[in-house]
Structure 1
Amino acid sequence: MAARTGEQFLRGLKDGRELWVGGERVRSIVDHPALTGAAHALAEVFDLQHAAADDCLMPDPETGEPINVSHMIPHSREDLLRRHRGLERVAEYSVGLMGRTPDYMNVTFAGFAGRRDEWARNGNDEGADNLVRYQKKLAREDISLTHTIVHSTVDLAKGKYPVGFDPVQLHKVENTSNGILVRGSRVLATLAPFADELAVYPGSAMPNAADVHALAFCIPMDTPGLKFICRDSVAVNTNRYEHPFSSRFDEQDAFVIFDDVEVPRDRLFIDANLEVYNTVMKTSWWSNIMQQTMIRAQTKLEFAWGLATRMAEAINSASQPPTQQLLGEIAMYAEFARSSVFAAEQAAHEHGNGLWCCDGRPLLALRAALPTWFPRVNEIIRVVGSHNLLTTPALGALQDKDLRPLIDKYLRGVGIDAEQRSRLFRLAWDFTGTALGSRNEQYERFYLGSVGRNLINAQLFTDRKRANRLLDRFLLEDCDGTQQASPSALPRSLGQAAS
């Protein structure tokens, strides 16, 4: 099939999946009021890859068919820069508001297939071969894939991961003639209504879990026994003028129940193999996927900066020092994001088995900062916009022949008419203040882990060699400046052994 069009994508959503929104089982995703806007927006993403083919498409290495560049298994820095252009075009479409456009999972599985050696550990050759074959299928059929990798939260006093056997969490029940039977639950399947298939793979290690929890596989969304329970919709079924984001960018989030689901043998990547499950994500996954996630974040920050600046100009406050400071703060975040992505790509290197990934250090630091930056950006936009965010005439009012002259007179901006002013401030409110804006802020706070978890990761996984060398110069010298001890003579918390 190769790269699909939007029409082909929409046809693929007409299946028998069991998906619930607001207490109602959805019979037609494309037509349901809560889902139709995002369904057609995702269709536009699929059309985009053809409209911007030079950036978004590449020939399949084996068949020559056009596939999305996000399926590339990078083997050089040039490959990563080539992929960057395609990822950036997709991020620009939703200005970073859709965190789970299909390129996210495309990049993830390209990285997995590029490290078949990691997946083949501990006798898992069959699972590794299945994964490599599936990645080719994903690319060649242009499948829209989502995932569910977080364990259900029941009792955090027991930890975030299963300890021993936990019947609530997803687990293998038994072998079948065609594969295995699984049961349990997972969260959080973002994009569930608009995906063709569902992926399960490790979110993080489970050192004390029973083997039956160690699973990885991909199955169609309409597999019998799969149930998706969506959160309340934040979509607004109206014109794009009045709700420019809420009308199309609610990608949805779903709780997933596996009610005795059979996973075919050829779709199984990890089958109760805890050693593989606990190690496969530790090396290249972060450095690979964070190129996509941080390009999205950079795009969103740059949009936010442009939006806030244009609002300030519309009410002639952009030259005031307090406003300039607020705008400059967003500009600073956007530039840090751009610089981090650039540095990571320039320092890219092979991560094993010929797979090239970005340098993870700047992206890890950026990832730790974003859960605080994004809420702060929203706050700045709302401060700059103030009450103007709430004085935005609806399209019907603007089209009324009696009201329009009055609106043009009293609700215009500096250098823009009333209609453009309303459009501008509606953009800002939909970005920060509507139900969609609130959902996206919550999403960013915990995207790829909370700020606390990411700061801990930054501390644990950042290379300390140079920091220790700078420190040890002073800790290892006598009063006259001569060296009196080697680093190994220091306590572990001080010496090179700590790195």
Structure 2
Amino acid sequence: MPARTGEQFLKGLRGPREVWVDGERIKDVVDHPKLTGAAHALAEVFDLHHQHPDILLMPDEETGEPIPVSHMIPRSRDDLLRRSKALRRVAEYSVGLMGRTPDYMNVTYAGFAGNRGGWADHGNEAGAERLVAYQKFLRRGDISLTHTIVQPTVDKAMGDAPQAGNPYGLRKVGDTEHGIVVRGARILATLAPFADEIAVYPALPLPAGADAYALSFCIPMSAPGLKFLCRDSASASSNRFDHPLSSRFDEQDAFVIFDDVEIPRDRLFIDGNLAAYNSVMTTSWPANIQQQTMIRASVKLDFAWGLALRVAAAINAADPETMRMIGEIWSYSEFTRSAVVAAETEAREWPGGLWTPATAPLHALRATLPLWFPRVNEILRLIGSHNVFATPTTAQMADKDLRPLIDQYLPGAKGMPAEERIRIFRLAWDFAGSALASRNEQYERFYLASSPRNLARHLVFTDRNRADRLVDRFLKEPY
């Protein structure tokens, strides 16, 4: 089928699934007050593709039907640039606040299918064929897919990857006539209430003997035994004046329990093949998926910079220190944009014809953004000061006795109407200080691993020859 509309997406969410939020099993994720805002926001993302088909849609290479550009398997630098434009347009809808819009997994599985050879290594040819077939299903059905790849942390002394016999991690516990049975848990499935299917694929390398944990598959959210325990909701009421961001962009995160779930054979991409599991994510995956993640970050930083300028203007804060802090946000925004451009300019081709951006510029961002985003929130709160709390609600604004007083005593600087000032500060607080803001800050701190972990692993993702050449000039000089 061609790219789905928002109505078709919402209809697909009404099927059975076991999703728990704030102690309640949700019967309908589309209409429940704690989920409806994000459900309808994502429906608008699906509709966005039909509103901008020249940017966001392309013909399927086999059927000719229009599908999202995020399903593209890039075969050239021009393909990457086309995908870049589409990814930015989607990210702009949520100003980068939704890190797991469906294009994230679309790009992921397009990259997997484009690197079929990497999945076929170590005797995993059948799994690779099934994965390529699944990617066709994903793009032709315009499926909303989430994932869960991190093993639960119970005791850090046991290591981040499960050893053989670990009773908590997701593992194979049996075979059936049509597939396998899995048991255990994974974290975190962001977007879980709003997905049609869930993916499991490799994360950290597994130790010898942990073959039962070496799994990769995709299954419907309705699979029997699959349970989703969501974190406390950060979704606010649907009033977009009072809660301009948290009324619609709480994408949710879920702890996932696989309570003896059967995985059909045709959905199984790695079945206990430890060598394949440990190698497949070390090649093209980081550079491919980080095009989407860093474009989203770039959009979010652009928004934060623009928001900081509006906050300052509302109170005419033009002093050098305020401008310095706003300039700090601008520098983060510009560094991020420039790194994405550099990565796309230095794009490379992999065996099999897949093109990805260069890895090093994007890994540098991956290591640094967890430090920048908390600082951005701090700057907005410093500039906003107490003003972020002097923000009457719509109910107060609608009161015939209060409204004249609000207009009289709470205007912005230089003739800015009170309503505009209030909107600015409510937007700033929802971005930098609300429950949604706190969730997003924590999310960014550990998005694709923490800053210390990524900095420590930088040699895995970059070429040191340029630096070594400069140092060797002096170390190799004759006496």
Instruction: Tell me the TM-score normalised to structure 2 length.
Output: 0.99
The answer for the alignment partner of 1:379 in structure 2 is: 378
Task: State which drifts further: 458-467 or 335-344.
Answer: 458-467
**After TM superposition, what 4+ stretches of structure 1 lie above 6 angstroms from structure 2?**
none
Q: Residues of 2 paired with 1:306 and 1:350: CA distance?
A: 36
Measured against aligned partners, the alpha-carbon deviations of 1:203-233 in whole angstroms (never above 9, x if no partner) come to: 1211335111000000000100000101110
Q: 1:352: Cα distance to partner?
A: 2.0
Q: Secondary structure at the match of 1:160?
A: coil
Q: How does 1:319-468 map onto structure 2 within 5 Å?
A: 319-414=318-413, 415-468=415-468
How far apart, CA to CA, are the structure 2 residues paired with 1:328 and 1:207?
46
Give per-residue Cα distances to partners, 1:261-315, cap 9 Å, x unaligned: 0000000000000000000000100000000000000000000000001110111
Paired AA for residue 26 in structure 1: I
Specify the SS of the correspondent of 1:19: strand
The question of whether the paired residues in 1 share the 8 Å contact of 2:160 and 2:204 is answered with no
Aligned residues between the structures:
478
On the 8 A contact 1:162/1:209 being kept in 2, the answer is: no
Give the Cα–Cα distance (whole angstroms) in 2 for the partners of residues 272 and 72 of structure 1.
Answer: 29
- Gaps (5+ residues) in structure 2? none
Equivalent residue number for residue 48 of structure 2? 48
Distance 2:10 2:209 in 1: 40
Q: Alpha-carbon deviations, 1:229-265, whole Å to 9, x = none?
A: 0111010123111001111110000000000000000
Which structure has the larger Rg over C-alpha atoms?
1
Partner SS state of residue 304, structure 2:
helix
Moved more, 211-220 or 233-242: 233-242
After superposition, where does 1:182-201 map in structure 2 within 5 Å? 182-201=182-201
Q: Is the 8 A contact 1:382 1:432 kept in 2?
A: yes
Residue 165, structure 1, aligned to residue 183, structure 2? no
Distance 2:397 2:178 in 1: 61
Q: Which amino acid aligns with 1:29?
A: V
- 1:401 positional shift: 1.4
Task: For residue 256 of structure 2, give the secondary structure of its aligned residue in structure 1.
Answer: strand
SS at match of 2:260: strand
Give the letter aligned to residue 82 of structure 2. Answer: R
Q: Distance in 2 between matches of 1:457 and 1:146?
A: 26
- Alpha-carbon distance in structure 2 between the residues aligned to 1:165 and 1:288: 34
What is the CA–CA distance in structure 1 between the aligned matches of 2:466 and 2:50, rounded to whole Å? Answer: 47
Match of 1:258 in 2: 258
What amino acid does structure 1 have at the position aligned with 2:106?
Answer: N
Whole-Å separation in 2 of the counterparts to 1:209 and 1:328? 52
Residue in 2 that maps onto 1:485 = none
User: Which one-letter code corresponds to 2:44 in the other structure?
Assistant: E
Partners of 1:449 and 1:232 in 2: CA distance: 22
Is residue 445–residue 451 contact of structure 1 (8 Å, CA) maintained in 2? yes
C-alpha displacement of 1:57: 0.4
Q: Could you tell me how far apart the structure 1 residues matched to 2:392 and 2:163 are?
A: 55
Deviations 1:325-381 (A, max 9, x none): 000000000000000000000110102210000011111101111000000000000
**Letter of the 1:379 counterpart:** E
Shift of residue 460, structure 1, vs aligned partner:
3.7
Change (3 A) 1:254 1:209: farther
Is the Cα–Cα contact under 8 Å of residues 182 and 258 in structure 2 kept in the other structure? yes
Preserved CA contact (<8 Å) 1:214 1:272: yes
Give TM-score scaled by structure 1 length. Answer: 0.95
Moved more, 333-342 or 114-123: 114-123
Per the TM alignment, residue 409 of structure 1 is displaced from its structure 2 partner at its CA by 1.0
Conservation of the 8 A alpha-carbon contact between 2:88 and 2:295: yes
Q: Distance in 2 between matches of 1:401 and 1:458?
A: 60
Alignment deviations for residues 120-148 of structure 1 (CA, whole Å, 9 cap, x no partner): 11221111011001001100100000000
Tell me the secondary structure at the aligned position of residue 61 of structure 1. Answer: coil
Q: Is the 8 A contact 2:153 2:160 kept in 1?
A: yes
Q: How far does residue 462 in structure 1 lie from its aligned partner after superposition?
A: 1.9
Distance 2:142 2:209 in 1: 35
What is the alpha-carbon distance in structure 2 between the residues aligned to residue 462 and residue 124 of structure 1? Answer: 28
CA contact 1:162–1:208 (8 Å) conserved in 2: no
